[in-house]
Amino acid sequence: ESRDSQPVMTRARALLRSVFGYESFRGSQGPIIESVVAGQNALVLMPTGGGKSLCYQIPALLRPGTAVVVSPLIALMRDQVEALKHNGVRAACLNSSLDPDERREVEAALWSSQLDLIYVAPEKLLSGFFLDRLAGLEIALFAIDEAHCVSQWGHDFRPEYMRLDVLRQRFPQVPRIALTATADTRTRREIEQQLLSDGAETWVSSFDRPNIRYQVGPKLNARDQLLGFIHQRHRDASGIVYCLSRKKTESVAEWLNSRGVTALPYHAGLSANERATHQRRFLQEDGVVIVATVAFGMGIDKPDVRFVAHLDLPKSMESYYQETGRAGRDGLAADAWMVYGLQDVYQVRQLLAQSNAGLEQQQAERRRLESLLGFCESTDCRRQQLLAYFGEDHPGECGNCDNCLNPPETWDATEPARMFLSCVYRSGQRYGAAHVIDILRGSVSEKIRRAGHDRLSTFGIGHHVDKKTWYSVARQLLARGYLETDPEGHGGVRLAPDCRPLLRGEQTLAIRRDAAGPTRRSRSATR
Ligand code: ADP
Ligand code: ZN
């Protein structure tokens, strides 16, 4: 430690207590603050709720001049400024939501150096006039919040962020701190290149949420499985259930209510009034389950959400992490519970096949979805995989996920997999999994007779394998990319190039044996 660091950190801790009312720094807040106060640039990667704001708010108070905070989200800006003012900090924001009087007042305070922090929208900061006036002001630091918005390949791209390199050019002596909760290596590289190209210290916090228990299982009867899970582990607790469609949130909420669980739907199609009421009841009452589309959750800070359940697959690993991360903010035990089935895998594959994004973006999208499917089907520690996705090592198995607690069996599915693939081929690569399974099991339906599929050499060769197991095989073949969806979107499956070695007998296939659900084990699946 340098000789100067003692007094700075003593002052930082005094501010932490007197202004923010906290006893000690969390994680790497302390060293980040020390480094920024000393004038270093910094890249801060910290999960949502980790405490990023203090990393620039305290340096803002310790360094002379006004700190300029760039943030794209007006609502969050306002909340932060209110909280700071409440603590006696001279903070304000400039964005399109101010009326002319308010704006004049804020600007007067800013240009007469009476603010500790000014929050601005990027387009405001980048206006030539504003930058010119800033040049005449003493600036403590620039903080760039939600820095991943600079990434063209991410889902939050904002073109103005690309232009923020003007800060480096015009204010080379002012430290910059870029902050984000998105930490995959590619985004990180882009932030470094675009915003911090003259060097920065990088601070990566752990994304681990050790109190969250991850469970992923096959979808059988999703509602009953959900109810069983709630009864078994979370009677009368607050929870969030995510569904893909608005209609489904309503029907699931209604059904849960009929089974004695207080549940409310939440989606963008409800009136503003209904949304506000449902959100308020969820926040204030005990034991309310909110059944929502992904529209719900942004900016919701409820610490005692005991579970997050997914009845449909999230759209990526990032979404899964973010959505499940709303459970257990209080640090007490919480569950992330998900069921998914053949249909879900099909939908995901279909989305990929039909995507008309640019090639590079399509590849990024594919990587994201493949990771998610791989995560679902895996028999390894879920936490290790989730963290590995964000570039983080978890030492050993976690002991708090389904695969650690209840190690799944795998079985040699080479033979049934080959039967399935050759049956897909012989029936013309046009039919859905259900039909292929009927052929394999030797069912004599009208559809099969009409198509002449009872005369195929694969007809009935799989009669000894039960239907549930066939669905499990089909789902895993699709998830692992041995099968593709048909491009016309009629629900058919066809062979993917990757299946050749398996079909030719050069490769074997071991797959996980499906349990009856995330919380129960089934009997042996093959008869
Ligand atoms: P992020 O921006 O990373 O999502 P915030 O800065 O909003 O996180 O902080 C999340 C919560 O943690 C806030 O309620 C904040 O007051 C609290 N917090 C941050 N740092 C500390 C600390 N050192 N001690 C206690 N609480 C903290
Ligand atoms: Zn584990």
Q: Which atom of ligand 1 is nearest to the CA of 16?
A: 23
C-alpha triplet 147, 372, 350: angle, nearest 5°? 105
In short, whether 182's Cβ falls inside 6 Å of ligand 1 is no
Short-list 392, 526, 373, CA closest to 462: 526
286-340 tens-digit pLDDT: 999 999 998 787 667 788 999 999 999 998 888 899 899 999 988 899 999 999 9
Short-list 364, 341, 365, CA closest to 478: 341
In this prediction the ipTM stands at 0.98
In short, whether 322's Cβ falls inside 6 Å of ligand 1 is no
Q: For tokens 């000789």, name the residue.
A: 3
- Kindly state the percentage of the chain with pLDDT values over 70: 96
Q: Are 273 and 321 in contact, with CB atoms under 8 Å apart?
A: no
480-513 tens-digit pLDDT: 889 988 777 678 899 999 899 999 989 999 998 8
Q: By three-state DSSP, how is residue 249 classified?
A: helix
Q: What is the 3-state secondary structure (H, E, C) of 315-345?
A: CCHHHHHHHHCCCCCCCCCEEEEEEECHHHH
> Which run of H or E residues covers position 92?
strand 91-94
Q: At what angle do helices 467-479 and 359-377 cross, to 10 degrees?
A: 140
**If you average pLDDT over residues 471-478, what whole number do you get?**
91
Short-list 259, 265, 298, CA closest to 281: 265
Distances 115 to 19, 66, 254, 443 between C-alpha atoms, Å: 16, 6, 51, 77
CA–centroid distance, 365 to ligand 2, in Å, is 26
CA–centroid distance, 167 to ligand 1, in Å, is 27
> Which run of H or E residues covers position 94?
strand 91-94
Distances 423 to 158, 380, 455, 464 between C-alpha atoms, Å: 48, 31, 12, 16
The set of residues, in sequence order, having a beta carbon less than 8 Å from that of 453 and lying 6+ positions away, is 427, 435, 439, 459
**If you average pLDDT over residues 469-489, what whole number do you get?**
87
Q: Is 397 exposed, middle or buried (0-12, 13-18, 19+ CB in 10 A)?
A: middle
DSSP string, 261-283: --EEEE-TTS-HHHHHHHHHHHH
Kindly identify the ligand whose nearest atom is closest to the C-alpha of 182: 1
Q: Say if residue 360's pLDDT is above 90.
A: no
Q: Can you tell me the distance from the alpha carbon of 82 to that of 512, in angstroms, rounded to the nearest whole number?
A: 51
Task: Output phi, psi for 50, to 5 deg.
Answer: -75, -25
DSSP string, 346-399: HHHHHHHHH--S-HHHHHHHHHHHHHHHHHHH--S-HHHHHHHHTT---SS--S
C-alpha triplet 389, 390, 395: angle, nearest 5°? 80
CA–centroid distance, 106 to ligand 2, in Å, is 51
CA–centroid distance, 50 to ligand 2, in Å, is 22
CA–centroid distance, 301 to ligand 1, in Å, is 11
Q: Can you tell me the distance from the alpha carbon of 442 to that of 243, in angstroms, rounded to the nearest whole number?
A: 35
Q: Are 402 and 336 in contact, with CB atoms under 8 Å apart?
A: no
421-454 tens-digit pLDDT: 999 999 999 999 999 999 999 998 899 999 999 9
Q: Say if residue 2's pLDDT is above 60.
A: no
Q: Which atom of ligand 1 is nearest to the CA of 29?
A: 23
Per-residue tokens: 76? 């969050």
**If you average pLDDT over residues 452-463, what whole number do you get?**
94
Q: Are 518 and 224 in contact, with CB atoms under 8 Å apart?
A: no
CA–centroid distance, 51 to ligand 1, in Å, is 3
Higher-pLDDT residue of 84 and 354 is 84
The set of residues, in sequence order, having a beta carbon less than 8 Å from that of 141 and lying 6+ positions away, is 36, 56, 59, 60, 63, 67, 68, 174, 175, 176, 177
**If you average pLDDT over residues 93-106, what whole number do you get?**
92
Ligand 2 ion: residues within 5 Å (CB): 381, 383, 397-398, 401, 404
Kindly identify the ligand whose nearest atom is closest to the C-alpha of 405: 2
Kindly identify the ligand whose nearest atom is closest to the C-alpha of 28: 1
Q: Are 211 and 331 in contact, with CB atoms under 8 Å apart?
A: yes
CA–centroid distance, 236 to ligand 1, in Å, is 28
CA 337 to chain CA centroid, Å, is: 14
Longest distance between any two alpha carbons in the chain, whole Å: 88
Which of 20, 204, 298, 302 has most ligand 1 atoms within 8 Å of its beta carbon, as the pocket-test mutant? Answer: 20
Q: Which atom of ligand 1 is nearest to the CA of 23?
A: 24
Q: Are strands 289-292 and 66-70 parallel, antiparallel or unpaired?
A: unpaired
Q: Say if residue 517's pLDDT is above 90.
A: no
CA–centroid distance, 211 to ligand 2, in Å, is 12
| Partners of 68 in the β-ladder | 118, 142
Atom 25 in ligand 1: which residue has the minimum CA distance?
22
249-298 tens-digit pLDDT: 999 999 999 999 999 999 999 999 999 999 999 999 999 999 999 878 76
Q: Can you tell me the distance from the alpha carbon of 386 to that of 377, in angstroms, rounded to the nearest whole number?
A: 13
Per-residue tokens: 378? 């895996």
In short, whether 325's Cβ falls inside 6 Å of ligand 1 is no
In short, whether 72's Cβ falls inside 6 Å of ligand 1 is no
How long a stretch of residues is the chain? 527
In short, whether 50's Cβ falls inside 6 Å of ligand 1 is yes
